[in-house]
Structure 1
Amino acid sequence: GVGLAALQAARIAGASKIVAVDVSPEKEQLAREAGATDYVVASDTTAREIRALTGKQGVDVAVECVGRAVTIRTAWESTRRGGRTTVVGIGGKDQQVTFNALEIFHWGRTLAGCVYGNSDPARDLPVLAEHVRAGRLDLGGLVTDRIALDGIPAAFDNMIAGKGGRALVLF
């Protein structure tokens, strides 16, 4: 859900190339509907594939939505010199990401965390509501399953398995 929202935000912001990455090839259509222009199935070569899609430069902004050390590192390596990597995913204490001093100097990238979109609700919620009203931000597109309360365990299983977007509980 967070990744799909990030794709929509990139589209709304006017990004011309939006590369989505996921472990599941089945999520490509969902990502493209949210605004992805390109789709990469996560692997050991993800950063290289993204650089190839961007003329070997890397992306201006990478948004990491998983919170795992390997995905944070991949997002960092996918970002162009002087670009920005933003970590939205909430990782655990055991997820250690390392950088050497030379690469920090050489690449000049910015690495930042993001909590609740770093938003100012008084300023940002009206803007988001207007995007929803205008049809630019499709909240329904984040929902792939509508379930009853007894479907919650299966929804968690699907989420862990990387299937679909988000489930909406109806009762």
Structure 2
Amino acid sequence: MADREAFDAFVRERWAPLLRTATLLTGDRHSAEDLVQETLIRAAQHWNRVDPATADAYVRRILYTRSVDAWRWRRHQPDPVEGREGDSHLGPQPSDEVDVRLTLAAALRRLTPRQRAVLVARFYEDRTEVQAAKVLGCSVNTVKSQTRHALERLRVLAPELADTFGRKEAAR
């Protein structure tokens, strides 16, 4: 019973951050909710063996792995988010920021799931290369190469982002 209570408390505390990460991984709010639910189902099955100190890392590893696995199984089906211009759940923002966000979201959807996972782990969750490798279950060199390839692809897919972020960096 204590395991169930601990798991319930974990879900209440970590649902929103997991959903944000899953949304970045899938590019779609509804797919992200499904991904988080599948992840939590898998985590709940073995929760009695999970160390509370590493529970978040354990669940995030499942999340990343399920994201890539789902892509592998569904890669021959049409993309459910094709043609969508982003989710409105994030609330109103100034129009130029919205344009940048939509451009970035569209470009991220065109990356491979592994590249998306590496970028989310490295830059959204602000993890080091070593931490990202541990979470993703790969080598540090794989994180480095996937990051390099993903950023190169983003520069090709959305060159206007380099101008936008370049201006912000120059202003600092």
Quickly name the TM-score band, shorter chain normalised. under 0.3
Structure number with greater CO (CA < 8 Å, separation at least 6) is 2
TM-score (norm 1): 0.22
* Bigger helix share: 2
* Bigger strand share: 1
